[in-house]
Structure 1
Amino acid sequence: MPWLQAHLEVEKSRAPLVELLFEQLGALSVTLADARDQPMLEPPPGAMPLWRNTRVTGLFDGGTDADHLRARIDEALNRENSRRLTLEILEDQAWERAWLDHFQPMRFGTGLWICPTGCPLDEPDATLIHLDPGLAFGTGTHPTTALCLEWLDGANLTDRTVIDFGCGSGILAIAALKLGAARAVAVDHDPQALMATRSNAERNGVLERLETLSSEEFRPQQADVVLANILANVLIELAPLIRSLVRPGGDLVLSGILRNQAEDVAHAYDADVDLHPPVHRDEWVRLEGRRR
């Protein structure tokens, strides 16, 4: 089966946003590269510099509708950026298996581990999630997902209910269930994401406690914990809905937010959520709080 590859050249300040966008649109992998042959000097410790002009490349399933993908990118970005999008067809290769060969076990917090299916892990006290990403976003490798997993590892989830709003591969809902949550609802607009979520939930033995719903099927309900790892502009647009999903006294966790977007997102939620100071990872931010 062939594959569809999308390339978009952007200024470096926009690259993290486009990286997350491609992954949330179903990219199997996303890579960043120099678009203009700019020399890169050795960065200082802890720095993660990008080229001034960065090419973001996303690899998508060959069955992806190219016109639909272009339209979705147009919706999320202004035309000045999206008009530089190029799409190409790649011949069949075992891209997913090759990617998984480089996907090593990862720990989040003190005891939560994400591992490729079939990969052994000598951690007897670990909470272990076996994951094949399929064609949906969410393996733990992206900072936004890692921020949410770290929060889950430190939370008391025993017998609580969870909504994973924008579930991608279902990794957050599955992690919550494996950490003691009684029930989870995973919501996404992408049918491939819901398929990947159900497959991963079955692989991890939690499918019977998980409900998957498309955005059109979902009817607002309240939960003890609401997780929303989606783009900042969507978090702001849907703030009234997402806030309403958290029961009074419940926890709200928001991610997919760049540092310079955190204040605007926080302002959309602080009317009835007591937010803690932002937690940072690279260029990304997690906001968390408790509904009054």
Structure 2
Amino acid sequence: MSLAELECRAEPGDAEALEELLFELGAVSVELFDAADEPLFEPPPGTHPLWSDIRLKAVFSDRTAAELASASMLQRDPAPSELQVTDITDQDWVRAGLDGLEAIHCGGPLWIVPSWEEQPDVEDGVFVHLDPGLAFGTGNHPTTAMCLTALAEDPPRDLEVLDYGCGSGILAIAALKLGARHALGIDNDPQAVQATESNAAANGIGSDRLQAGLTDHPLPEGGSDLVLANILTRPLIELAPELTAATRPGGRILMAGLLDRQAEEVMEAYAHAFDIGVRDSRDGWALLDGRRRT
């Protein structure tokens, strides 16, 4: 089935909310474009200006999904203008997506290696074998890359790990390869659960060490030692009570999927229970690192 693209016009103050909404409605990717060829000269420090005339383009898995998203967006007040859905010419997207992808060094001993690449000849390397698939997470996106680097820098040896929003399972698998005792992957997408289980098996990890389930799956009693949540800003804020309870006292939480300018809002949602701060920032994305107070 062919992919489809939903495009609309947005006001600068509404662009960020529309971007998050499109992802929540199932978009595979969302891009913001300057609709009027308006240059942005060097902004003052600490500011994140957008163009005055913005277009958003979101890719969906099929036309039906794009049209349903368009109908949902029309219910907003105010609704975005110039909504249109177009089909994307079909091609071998898997092969196209492989172009330029190679083994990724995440830091320390950790590498992500796709199946068509030879394993790097490095001493004491830790290798996660993973190919692009239907679920998010190959190690290329800054949010995933920052989480992987953090795991490589502070290996979760003998820890109980919860990967909330596990996608491909890349973070849970990397944590186990770096010495975690057990990991649980949770996602709201059945395809992500299937991808996590399949990728775990491809890395020689059995169901005794990695389990995956939907959001109604029971979490470890007493909380996990390390919680990984690479999702989106709004779910991170809304899930603060659940993710706090899922982190044992003294345990850590790593949160990604948020922009630099959204970091303060997310940290405020967790400040009641965590000592938390920005650990890393790449290409406008932030990684938060928190320790739950005992």
Structure-1-length-normalised TM-score: 0.82
- 1:65 maps to 65
- Quick check: 1:25–1:136 contact (8 Å CA) kept in 2? no
- 2:250 and 2:272 map into 1 onto residues whose CA distance is 14
Summarize the alignment of residues 183-194 of structure 1 with structure 2, pairs less than 5 Å apart: 183-194=182-193
Q: 1:16 to 1:233 in 2, by over 3 A?
A: closer
Partner residue of 2:141? 142
Contact 1:255 1:286 in 2 (8 A): yes
Q: 2:170 is matched by which residue type in structure 1?
A: I
CA shift in 2, pair 1:183/1:251, >3 Å: same
The residue that corresponds to 1:102 in the other structure is: 100
Matched, 1:113 2:105: no
Residue 270 of structure 2 is matched in structure 1 by 269
Structure 1 residues 134-173: Cα deviation after superposition (integer angstroms, max 9, x where no partner): 1222222222112211111111312211111111221111
Asked if structure 1 preserves the Cα contact closer than 8 Å seen for 2:20 and 2:232, the reply is: no
SS in 1 for 2:249: strand
The AA in structure 1 aligned to 2:233 is A
Give 1:216's aligned amino acid.
D
Measured at CA, do residues 276 and 66 of structure 1 come closer, stay the same or move farther in structure 2, by a change above 3 Å? closer
| In 2, Cα distance between equivalents of 1:283 and 1:234 | 19
Q: Which runs of 5+ in 1 are unaligned?
A: none
Q: Distance in 2 between matches of 1:112 and 1:129?
A: 8
Tell whether the 8 Å contact from 2:73 to 2:79 is kept in structure 1 after alignment.
no
> Aligned partners of 1:210, 1:261: CA distance in 2, in Å?
31
Report the more deviating stretch, 204-213 or 159-168: 204-213
* Residue 6 of structure 1 pairs with residue 6 of structure 2: yes
Is the CA contact 1:10–1:81 (under 8 Å) kept in the aligned structure 2?
Answer: no
CA 1:96–1:225: 2 relative to 1, 3 Å: same
> Is residue 24–residue 137 contact of structure 1 (8 Å, CA) maintained in 2?
no
**Percent identity among equivalent residues?**
44
Query: After superposition, what is the alpha-carbon deviation per residue over 1:208-231, rounded to whole angstroms, capped at 9, x for unaligned?
Result: 221111113344641110011111
1:123 corresponds, among 117, 121, 124, to 121
Using structure 2 for the length normalisation, give the TM-score: 0.81
- Which amino acid is 2:189 matched to? D
**Range with greater deviation from structure 2 (216-225 or 136-145):** 216-225
Give the aligned residue type for 2:84.
Answer: T
Q: Give 2:245's aligned residue.
A: 244
Task: Give the Å deviation of 1:5.
Answer: 2.7
Check whether the contact 1:280–1:286 (CA below 8 A) recurs between aligned residues: yes
Go from structure 1 to structure 2 and tell me whether the alpha carbon gap of 1:33 and 1:119 turns closer, same or farther (over 3 Å shift): farther
Mapped partners of 1:57, 1:21: distance in 2 = 9
Structure 1 match to 2:159: 160
Alpha-carbon distance change, 73 to 202 in structure 1, aligned in 2, over 3 angstroms: farther
CA distance in 1, matches of 2:255, 2:16: 20
Change (3 A) 1:124 1:279: closer
Structure 1: distance between partners of 2:17 and 2:106: 21
Aligned to 1:284: 285
Letter of the aligned partner of 1:104 in structure 2? Answer: E
Structure with greater Cα Rg = 2
Native 8 Å contact 1:19 1:56 kept in 2: no
Q: Per the alignment, in what secondary structure is the counterpart of residue 180 of structure 1?
A: coil
Cα offset, 1:101, TM superposition: 2.0
Cα deviation digits, residues 189-241 of structure 1 (max 9, x gap): 11222222222222222242211111133446411100111111211111011
Is the 8 Å Cα contact of residues 258 and 285 (structure 1) preserved in structure 2?
Answer: yes
Instruction: Give the root-mean-square deviation of aligned CA atoms.
Output: 3.4
Cα distance change of structure 1 residues 224 and 68 upon mapping to structure 2, 3 Å threshold? farther
Higher relative contact order (CA 8 A, sep 6+): 1
Structure 2: unaligned runs, 5 residues or longer: none
Question: Is this contact kept in 2: 1:9–1:54, CA < 8 A?
Answer: yes
Distance of 2:119 and 2:31 partners within structure 1: 27
- C-alpha contact (below 8 Å) 1:26/1:137 kept by paired residues: no
Distance 1:270 1:40, change over 3 A: closer
Aligned amino acid, residue 105 of structure 2 = R
Structure 1 contact 220–245 (Cα < 8 Å) conserved: yes
- Whole-angstrom distance in 1 between the partners of 2:174 and 2:40: 38
Question: 1:273·1:291 contact (CA, 8 Å) conserved in 2?
Answer: yes
